[in-house]
Amino acid sequence: MTIEIKEREEHRVALFMSLINQNEKTLVFCANQTHALVVRDFVNQMKSSSDPNYCQRVTADEGELGEQYLRDFQDNEKTIPTILTTSQKLATGVDARNIRNIVLMRPIHSMIEFKQIIGRGTRLYDGKDYFTIYDFVKAHHHFNDPEWDGEPIEPEEPKPCPKCGGYPSHYVSVGVEELDQQKLTPLLRLKYHDSIADAVADLGRPDEIGKIFSGFQKYLYQNVA
């Protein structure tokens, strides 16, 4: 028996749609073909684009039409479709170099499958320095592989002024505007090892996190009396 909780899936879609750049190509891996259809519909309901083909499902059921969607998605000169939902079909053999986001919405049962899926985002492309994984099923917790992942890079801490002990005057003068909402997501990714779902579980909904962030950031760079 399959239990489908549409409210949960709607929340997940709303979450990643609020975090990604909606103009960037994105692959969403779903539990099965029906799930991929549900997610596709939620994405198209929430998208800012007016194009009806913005998000399409590519599974076995689509046949040749799905293959055409995939070819268009792989074409770096085309921007539509921007998001594809799938279940098993796109885990391997998809050479789309400009994929910027991988969204995991189904369990992954092996390290090989995990690496194959993540590999969809590793293709090199001009101006592409990184890609982002949105892991709603905590797959990365099961497949920790330091030899493959590499050692994490420690973030650089801001250095205080040697004369006054405070932080650079740029931050003091700019204040709240320096740590604006656009910088919140990268900070959460750094803190939670690219798992936005973990951040939400700890801190609450994105709008709540944003309010807290705006409330405390103005105090970060004030000199201590």
Give per-residue pLDDT as tens, 146-168: 666 666 667 666 566 555 555 44
For residues 168 and 142, state if they share a domain. Answer: no
Q: In terms of domains, do 162 and 225 share one?
A: yes
Of residues 32 and 175, more confidently modeled? 32
Evaluate whether residue 51 is within a structural domain.
yes
Percentage of residues of the chain with pLDDT beyond 90? 25
Domain assignment present for residue 1? The answer is no
Q: What value does the mean pLDDT of the chain take?
A: 75
Which H or E run contains 10? helix 6-19
Reading the block at residue 149, the tokens are 């992942």
Considering the domain boundaries, does residue 101 fall inside one? Answer: yes
CB 208, CB 201: distance < 8 Å? no
Residue type, 5: I
Strand partners, 104: 29, 135
Specify the pLDDT at position 37: 92
Q: Write down which residue in 127, 149, 171 finishes a domain.
A: 149
> Residue 78: is its pLDDT beyond 70?
yes
Range of the structural domain that residue 175 is part of: 152-225
Lowest mean pLDDT among 55-64, 109-118, 207-216: 207-216
Query: Chain-centre distance of CA 21, in angstroms?
Result: 9
pLDDT, tens digit, 9 for 90 and up, residues 24-50: 999 999 988 899 999 999 999 999 999
99 lies in the same domain as 17: yes
Average pLDDT over residues 62-88: 88
Same domain, 130 and 211: no
Q: Which of 111, 131, 149 is the last residue of a domain?
A: 149
Residues 25 and 115 in one domain: yes
Amino acid at 220: L
Answer yes or no: is 164 within a domain.
yes
Q: Distance between CA atoms of 70 and 95, rounded to whole angstroms?
A: 10
Q: What's the pLDDT at 80?
A: 93
Average pLDDT over residues 7-16: 90
* 103 and 81 assigned to the same domain: yes
Domain for residue 99, yes or no?
yes
Length of the chain: 225
Closest by Cα among 105, 61, 115 to 83: 105
Claim to verify: residue 98 and residue 144 sit in the same structural domain: yes
- Which of 133, 149, 165 is the last residue before a domain boundary? 149
The pLDDT of residue 159 is: 61
Whether residue 68 is found in the same domain as residue 123:
yes
The pLDDT assigned to 166 comes to 53
Flag whether 179 is in a domain.
yes
Say if residue 58 is exposed, middle or buried (CB neighbours under 10 Å; 0-12, 13-18, 19+). buried
Looking at the fold, whether 61 and 12 belong to one and the same domain comes out as yes
Whether 65 maps to a domain, the answer reads yes
Instruction: Give the per-residue pLDDT at 56.
Output: 93
| Distance, CA of 179 to CA of 214 (rounded, Å) | 8
**Is residue 176's pLDDT more than 90?**
no
pLDDT of residue 146: 67
Q: Report how far residue 155's alpha carbon sits from residue 171's, in angstroms, rounded to the nearest whole number.
A: 18
* Whether residue 139 sits in one domain with residue 40: yes
Q: Does 90 or 18 have the greater pLDDT score?
A: 18
- How many domains, the chain? 2
**Could you tell me if 22 and 127 lie in one domain?**
yes
166-171 own/partner pairs: CB under 8 Å, 24+ apart: 166/221, 166/223, 167/221, 171/220, 171/221
88-138 pLDDT tens trace: 766 555 677 788 999 999 888 788 888 888 887 877 788 888 888 888 888
Residue 100 and residue 178 in one domain: no
CATH number of the domain that residue 52 is part of: 3.40.50.300
Tell me the backbone φ, ψ of residue 158, rounded to 5 degrees: -65, 140
Residue 31 domain-assigned (yes or no): yes
- The H or E element containing residue 27 is strand 25-29
